[in-house]
Amino acid sequence: MLATLTILYLLLTVVAGIYSSRKINVAEDFALAGRKLPFHLSLTAFFATWFGAETILGASSQFATKGFKGVIEDPFGASLCLILTGLIFVKCFYPKGYLSIGDFFKERYGASVEFATSLLQALSYFTYSAAQFVALAIVLEAVTNQDFTICLIAGALLVVTYTYFGGMWALAFTDFVQAILIIIGLSILAIYLWKLLPIGYQPLALIPKNTSFLPRNSFNGWAEFSAAWMIMGFGSIPSQDVFQRIMSAKSEKVARNSAIMAGILYLLVAMLPLLIVMLCLKIYGNQNTVNPQQIIPQMVLRHMPLPIQVLFFGALLSAILSTASASLLAQATVIGENLVKPRFKSIDNQQFLNLLRFLVIVVSIVSVIIALNMTNIFFLSSISSSLILVTLFIPMVGGLWLKKSTQYNAWSGIILGIMVYCYCLFIQMGILAVFWGFVASIIGFLLGFLVKSGLNKLVN
């Protein structure tokens, strides 16, 4: 029965995507919903940007093993990103009417920087999309008892289908419904489990022993703490999926308010999976689950009545579908707008629309290949934001507020940031690689002023 209802729900999602295609006439309709999203659709679109696998499965498993210090990146960093976006960055971007974040880099620094930043953006999304496909496969495997690979390919095919037809309109409509299902499903499951606790049980006892929020009092401790906040808190601000939601709103005011409210809502709702996983461990133990990402799904399957199972897996699938489709659309838009279109000057709007749809298929195929070889959801998601943080954030901020900055600043920040980040990863510095990559990006950006000055002296 659960498998049947799950498949029915997935098919309805595809139908909704195909139905949304009637609103698609030009590329802007596909990528930005014609810049017509009202507040309620914009709010849930922002909320559903990342509220997916890494929040419900990845972050909850991190919380179970590491406490609060394991979930600073998500949900705390993700919430910070949305709030900062609304408070600071919406007013910078919305009036410009860009289709992608790459358009900003092109206008500010030139075509070469546009190409480099768009390429980095596109590459970062492969791991993020892969993370969503892994999560979708985990859920389908648990519900249907089918092979993981079959579930992964089937899930990816489903996401591709409704994204291909409906674009941002499909995402907006399905995000609205799916956000409601997420909140209802997780809330009911948390309440159900809470009532199973012994009478008089102290709720604070649920919090893991190693749950210190602040780091150890050392330089490395604070550096790791800062990096955890910055990975999504800063690193996701220049991401295309956030940018598309800014530009899809029907007004600057709607974009600003929906981003801020979504950040607050995200943090509140994200507490539910953390509570649920601790309730699971307290009431049922670890269920002999080898993969900690399976703690909650296995508990629901083994111990919950069918209505609770339907609500939970409906919420989980909703979260994953929203995030996966957003990732595919964002990646296809960046590649199409900033990497392919500039090479074909004569491409018309209909051809560009067809190109975006074709790219949705291409990026999904590559992401599936990655997902078949790397299955840690939290790690795959983290790589994406880390790469953007150490390469794009500082050039974006400098481009917005340092008017004398040039392409030399952007190139210096990008190159030094990614070089230091990759070297630190190579010597296995863990999350400190993000911290030093970010610092290097700042230093590189500032050195760009010296590079420009030196070149001017050589010329003169």
Q: Are 10 and 325 in contact (CB under 8 A)?
A: no
DSSP 85-143: IIIIIHHHHGGG--SSHHHHHHHHH-HHHHHHHHHHHHHHHHHHHHHHHHHHHHHHHHH
| pLDDT score at 364 | 94
Residues 6+ apart with CB under 8 A from 244: 31, 32, 100, 168, 326, 329, 330, 333
| pLDDT score at 322 | 81
pLDDT band, very low/low/confident/very high, at 286 (cuts 50, 70, 90): low
Return the structure tokens found at 182.
């997420």
What digits encode the pLDDT tens for the residues 16-74? 777 877 888 889 999 999 999 999 999 999 998 878 767 887 777 778 777 788 888 88
Between residues 51 and 378, which one has the greater pLDDT?
51
| pLDDT, average across residues 188-200 | 84
Residues 6+ apart with CB under 8 A from 451: 408, 412
For 427, half-sphere exposure in the C-beta direction (CA atoms, 13 angstrom radius) is 10
Rounded Cα distance between 54 and 43, Å, is: 20
pLDDT band, very low/low/confident/very high, at 455 (cuts 50, 70, 90): low
| pLDDT score at 222 | 92
What digits encode the pLDDT tens for the residues 318-354? 778 888 888 899 999 999 999 999 988 788 889 999 9
Q: Which CATH class is domain 2-372?
A: mainly alpha
pTM of the full structure = 0.90
Percent of the chain at pLDDT exceeding 90? 46
| pLDDT, average across residues 270-276 | 89
Return the structure tokens found at 340.
């392919």
Domain extents in the chain: 2-372
What digits encode the pLDDT tens for the residues 393-429? 999 999 999 989 999 999 999 999 999 999 999 898 8
pLDDT band, very low/low/confident/very high, at 107 (cuts 50, 70, 90): very high
| pLDDT score at 436 | 96
pLDDT band, very low/low/confident/very high, at 142 (cuts 50, 70, 90): confident
| pLDDT, average across residues 103-128 | 92
Instruction: Report the phi/psi class of residue 147: left, alpha or beta, with left for phi > 0 and alpha for psi in -120 to 50.
Output: beta
| pLDDT, average across residues 156-170 | 90
Residue 216 is classified by DSSP as P
Q: Are 410 and 448 in contact (CB under 8 A)?
A: yes
| pLDDT, average across residues 4-10 | 81
| pLDDT score at 456 | 64
| pLDDT score at 454 | 67
| pLDDT score at 209 | 65
Residues 6+ apart with CB under 8 A from 428: none
> Is pLDDT above 90 for 450?
no
Would you call 211 helix, strand, or coil by DSSP? coil
Q: Euclidean distance between the first and final Cα of the chain, in Å?
A: 78
Return the structure tokens found at 122.
């596109």
> Is pLDDT above 90 for 435?
yes
Percent of the chain at pLDDT exceeding 70? 91
Residue whose C-alpha is closest to residue 312's, from 155, 62, 143: 143
